[in-house]
Amino acid sequence: MSDPRAQLIATARAMQPAGLNKGTSGNVSVRSGDAFYITPTGLPYGALVVGDIPLMTLDGSHQGTRKPSSEWRFHRDLYAARPDVGAVLHAHSPFAVSLACLRREIPPFHYMIARFGGDTIRCADYAIFGSPELSTAAMQAMQGRKGCLLANHGLLVAGHDLAEAFALAVELEELCEQYWRACQLGDPVLLSATEMADVLKKFQSYGQQ
């Protein structure tokens, strides 16, 4: 099996071509035993080598030559609270940021909203980046969910592994763009609670196959 740090770097580098990131904003992590690897602060992804990747334990301490991303807290809190989470990705992607600046949750305008575990994508309350308050708000918005928006900030997703986290981030940014486009034309017709419950049930039975 390949080094999880190499997989982490490959995922971080894939963010820009996928439209999830520009520059050094955003961060990715992957669980490793009782700890997790996370992208370091302030280094361009193109220049990263495995030796640059810090390992953090759930108490918030780290090993390695580089400092972890300043936004490590919501990564740590997701791993600590959610055994189902194996990878976390955070991005300042343009359509997610646009909607997050309206501090509006995304309603069930499309059935794929259910992929994130509910009938909306919540928007976490605003708190300054890197703060315990932001992590608390993010954990609330992520309750029972695989993704959320962070007010005036960006998106956050959590998957079983890096591949799922990356796919969820791409899907969430896509949904934000589609919702934004639909809103240009009028008020999107929303799916009912029953219709969304049927989709959630269908997704669960797919997952069991």
**From 71, 164, 171, 195, active-site residue:** 71
Active site (annotated) includes residue 71: yes
Enumerate long-range contacts of 77-81, CB under 8 Å, 24 or more apart: 77/135, 77/136, 77/138, 77/139, 78/139, 78/142, 78/158, 79/29, 79/31, 79/36, 81/139
Residues tagged active-site = 71
